[in-house]
């Protein structure tokens, strides 16, 4: 507590200003505070690397104001070098969180900037649903751009690689060349499940951490097949190391099914058509072929023996359906998985034993194991086995989610969009589905992955996500920017009095305004309660008296020297004010 007198103004020892705030309330309650100006921090702006995009999120009170701010930013970026690029991006993204109209655009040095038209964001932020994909979207260059530029993404990948090395005795990055663009790629076109599942788990956890660092967090979760392994961490049911260890144990067991000569295929048809194709192919044939995934009303995945999978592809294409083989050597979600049950259960059980306790999600999780879109109440070794053995009911889980959260914005946590079209096909009304990562074209010089991630963050802001903060990407914004864009207010001039004949009253209806006061017209008055009864404050009566006197004077009906007598109080006012006991006359 201060004990010495300190004069207000700039302190001699720090040079920072002091300000005194005092408050007095009804009943003699008083408050007093002295605040000191915070120290001015030293900002070290992160420099933009050649070709690195920067996302700008702009907001305003109207479409015109939003467009003008965006145009001013574009003009500012034309300077060589541009002024405070990253600081301006952080500052305007923070301001946009409070604005009803928003837009976003990407700035890459040397490219033309296109600014979309501003959109009106919803009054209430839509629920954010994270969707975790399973096998299929993995590729050799996934995560390389984010690993090279994002500290959060890189640190998570390196942390998980240490977990992988402890569990397997070798680094996934060094033995595969994944994530680090300086290393040669050592993986074939079709990866072994031993590499696919841990790599997918790592990139999904790193992407989840990166989105959380910029303020994008889920309200609800759903995972497709192996994606439920990552959901163990994302839901708060277990640490990230546990999720990766489950993926490693799962991959070791599933590798036992690769010598069986099996695979999977995606069919563009409904369940009944797929069932007929399976029945036709398996009739009088050796092997196993079953329906493994219900992705949407017109998207089915079959799983089983490789020769039957290929025959089903030929039959489906012959009937005019889309059919394509999934890049995997394992027959997930089929009875062939029984070959690895003992090894699978033993390996996963050991992981759960190392991380004891109930693994209940802190965020609602829809199960794709259950046929009716039920919630996951706890992750257990038995549930993780059902996740790989039973069919995936993704269609049913998304339908249940949309029934409960019809306005949800979906974010696909994947190295490349794989489930977005399925979500759109299930939704009755258009639901935004965003995937923050995308597979770059072969030998593409442009960091497509970075542009996709930054564009996704901007798109989420325009959908109404109000928690986005770009500080972890671009550093802190300057409190004293060298150049600040003023808000383009619409300036209007209003007269202090109404022009017209002196006989015309300034306020039509005489002095009846006070009689029209109620809780609907003046809701703040409902809070003025004395002895349990809401009353009109005495200040309101005094204000009406003064307004009456001023009106009469302006119309020439009262001399400025004539005193105001209480007996001239309008007759409709009460004889005695309950608040101050002021009596008429």
| Dist CA 530 CA 510 (whole Å) | 29
Within a domain: 208 = yes
262: left (phi over 0), alpha (psi -120 to 50) or beta: beta
pLDDT at 566 over 70: no
Q: What is the pLDDT of residues 396-430, one digit of tens each?
A: 999 999 999 999 999 999 999 999 999 988 876 66
| Dist CA 550 CA 558 (whole Å) | 9
Question: Are 390 and 360 members of one domain?
Answer: yes
| Dist CA 166 CA 153 (whole Å) | 20
Within a domain: 571 = yes
Within a domain: 117 = yes
pLDDT at 177 over 70: yes
Return the number of other C-beta atoms located less than 10 Å from residue 218's C-beta: 24
Which regions of 204-282 does DSSP assign to beta strands (E)?
A: 220-223, 262-267
Residue 104's pLDDT band (cuts 50, 70, 90): very high
| Dist CA 208 CA 216 (whole Å) | 9
Question: Are 140 and 212 members of one domain?
Answer: yes
Q: Does 575 or 147 have the greater pLDDT score? A: 147
Element (H, E) at 292: strand 289-296
pLDDT at 536 over 80: no
pLDDT at 196 over 60: yes
pLDDT at 3 over 70: no
Which residues pair with residue 392 across a beta bridge?
293
CATH number at residue 469: 3.30.70.3290
Within a domain: 322 = yes
Which residues pair with residue 128 across a beta bridge?
409
Within a domain: 453 = no
Question: Are 177 and 191 members of one domain?
Answer: yes
Reference 469, options 258, 297, 212; nearest CA is 212
Give, in order, the Cα–Cα distances in Å from 172 to each of 243, 371, 427, 564.
16, 35, 38, 90
Instruction: Provide the pLDDT for residue 190.
Output: 86
Token pair listed for 566: 């209480």
Q: Residue 464 — φ and ψ, nearest 5°?
A: 115, 10
Question: Are 132 and 233 members of one domain?
Answer: yes
Of all residues in the chain, the percent with pLDDT exceeding 70 is: 81
Return the number of other C-beta atoms located less than 10 Å from residue 372's C-beta: 10
pLDDT at 507 over 70: no
Within a domain: 452 = no
Residue 138's pLDDT band (cuts 50, 70, 90): very high
| Dist CA 93 CA 103 (whole Å) | 10
Listed range (9-18, 69-78, 272-281, 509-518) with the worst mean pLDDT = 509-518
Question: Are 30 and 60 members of one domain?
Answer: no
Token pair listed for 211: 């989105």
Q: What is the pLDDT of residues 211-229, one digit of tens each?
A: 999 999 999 999 999 999 9
Question: Are 377 and 251 members of one domain?
Answer: yes
Q: What is the pLDDT of residues 436-483, one digit of tens each?
A: 999 988 777 667 899 999 999 999 999 999 999 999 888 887 777 777
Last-in-domain residue among 294, 328, 362: 328
Question: Are 324 and 396 members of one domain?
Answer: no
By residue count, the chain amounts to 585
Residue 583's pLDDT band (cuts 50, 70, 90): very low
CATH number at residue 376: 3.40.366.10
pLDDT at 168 over 60: yes
Instruction: Provide the pLDDT for residue 245.
Output: 98
Instruction: Provide the pLDDT for residue 61.
Output: 94
Give, in order, the Cα–Cα distances in Å from 494 to each of 64, 382, 580.
22, 73, 36
Cβ neighbours for 89, distance < 8 A, ≥ 6 positions apart:
54, 55, 56, 57, 107, 470, 474
Token pair listed for 247: 């993926």
- Domain containing 298 equals 262-328
Question: Are 277 and 295 members of one domain?
Answer: yes
Reference 196, options 146, 234, 231, 247; nearest CA is 247
Tell me if 265 sits within 8 A of 391, measured CB to CB.
no
DSSP state letters, 47-63? PPPTT--EEEEEEESSH
Question: Are 269 and 247 members of one domain?
Answer: no
Average pLDDT of the residues in 84-99: 91
Distance of CA 282 to the CA centre of its chain: 46
Listed range (39-43, 48-52, 70-74, 254-258) with the worst mean pLDDT = 39-43
Question: Are 143 and 215 members of one domain?
Answer: yes
Instruction: Provide the pLDDT for residue 285.
Output: 87
What three-state secondary structure class fits 151?
A: helix
Instruction: Provide the pLDDT for residue 504.
Output: 44
Listed range (272-286, 325-339, 347-361, 497-511) with the worst mean pLDDT = 497-511
Q: Does 290 or 536 have the greater pLDDT score? A: 290
Element (H, E) at 21: strand 18-24
Number of domains in the chain: 5
Cβ neighbours for 503, distance < 8 A, ≥ 6 positions apart:
555
Question: Are 369 and 474 members of one domain?
Answer: no
Question: Are 113 and 236 members of one domain?
Answer: no
Instruction: Provide the pLDDT for residue 54.
Output: 93
Reference 509, options 549, 560, 551; nearest CA is 551
Instruction: Provide the pLDDT for residue 153.
Output: 96
Residue 552's pLDDT band (cuts 50, 70, 90): low
Within a domain: 229 = yes
| Dist CA 330 CA 389 (whole Å) | 12
Give, in order, the Cα–Cα distances in Å from 397 to each of 131, 369, 382, 401, 553.
11, 9, 20, 6, 73
Tell me if 138 sits within 8 A of 227, measured CB to CB.
no
Handedness of CA 524, 526, 531, 537 (dihedral sign): positive
Within a domain: 450 = no
């Amino acid at each position: 507590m201060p004990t010495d007198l300190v004069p207000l103004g700039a302190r001699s020892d720090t040079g920072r200003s002091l300000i005194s705030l005092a408050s007095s309330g009804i009943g003699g309650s008083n408050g007093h505070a002295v605040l000191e100006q915070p120290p001015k921090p030293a900002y070290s702006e992160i420099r933009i690397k050649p070709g690195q995009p920067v996302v700008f999120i702009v907001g305003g009170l109207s479409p015109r104001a939003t467009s003008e701010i965006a145009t001013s930013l574009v003009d500012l970026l034309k300077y060589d070098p541009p002024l405070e690029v990253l600081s301006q991006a952080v500052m305007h993204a923070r301001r946009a969180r409070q604005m009803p109209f928003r837009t976003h655009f990407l700035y890459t040095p040397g490219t033309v900037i296109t600014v979309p038209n501003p959109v009106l964001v919803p009054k209430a932020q839509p629920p954010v649903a994270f969707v975790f994909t399973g096998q299929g979207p993995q590729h050799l260059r996934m995560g390389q751009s984010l690993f090279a530029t994002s500290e959060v993404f890189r640190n998570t990948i390196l942390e998980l690689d240490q977990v992988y090395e402890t569990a397997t005795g070798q680094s996934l990055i060094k033995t595969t060349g994944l994530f680090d663009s300086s290393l040669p790629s050592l993986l074939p076109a079709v990866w072994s499940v031993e590499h696919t599942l841990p790599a997918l788990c790592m990139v999904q956890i790193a992407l989840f951490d990166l989105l959380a660092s910029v303020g994008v967090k889920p309200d609800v979760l759903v995972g497709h097949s192996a994606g439920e392994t990552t959901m163990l961490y994302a839901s708060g049911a277990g640490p990230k190391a546990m999720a990766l260890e489950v993926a490693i144990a799962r991959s070791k067991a599933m590798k036992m099914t690769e010598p069986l000569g099996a695979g999977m295929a995606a069919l563009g048809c409904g369940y009944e058509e797929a069932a007929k194709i399976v029945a036709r192919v398996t009739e009088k044939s050796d092997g196993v072929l079953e329906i493994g995934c219900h992705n949407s009303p017109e998207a089915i995945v079959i799983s089983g023996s490789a020769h039957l999978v290929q025959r089903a592809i030929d039959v489906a294409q012959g009937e005019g359906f889309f059919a394509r083989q999934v890049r995997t050597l394992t027959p997930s979600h089929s009875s062939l998985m029984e070959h690895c049950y003992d090894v699978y259960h033993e390996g996963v059980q050991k992981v759960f034993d190392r991380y004891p306790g109930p693994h209940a999600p802190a965020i609602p999780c829809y199960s794709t194991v259950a046929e009716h879109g039920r919630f996951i109440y706890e992750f257990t070794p038995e549930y993780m086995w059902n996740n790989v053995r039973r069919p995936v009911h993704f269609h049913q889980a998304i339908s249940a989610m949309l029934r409960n959260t019809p306005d949800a914005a979906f974010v696909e946590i994947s190295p490349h969009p794989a489930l977005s079209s399925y979500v759109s096909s299930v939704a009755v009304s258009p639901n935004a589905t965003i995937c923050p990562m995308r597979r770059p074209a072969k030998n593409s010089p442009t960091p497509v992955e970075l542009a996709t991630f930054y564009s996704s963050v901007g798109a989420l802001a325009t959908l109404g996500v109000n928690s986005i903060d770009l500080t972890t990407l671009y550093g802190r914004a300057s409190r004293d920017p060298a150049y600040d864009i003023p808000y383009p207010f619409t300036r209007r001039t209003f007269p202090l009095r109404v022009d017209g004949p002196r006989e015309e009253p300034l306020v039509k209806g005489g002095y009846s305004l006070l009689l029209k006061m109620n809780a609907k017209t003046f809701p703040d008055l409902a809070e003025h309660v004395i002895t349990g009864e809401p009353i009109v404050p005495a200040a309101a009566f005094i204000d009406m008296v003064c307004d009456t006197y001023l009106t009469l004077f302006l119309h020439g009906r009262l001399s400025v020297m004539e005193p105001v007598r209480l007996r001239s109080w309008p007759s409709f006012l009460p004889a005695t004010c309950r608040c101050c006991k002021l009596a008429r006359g």
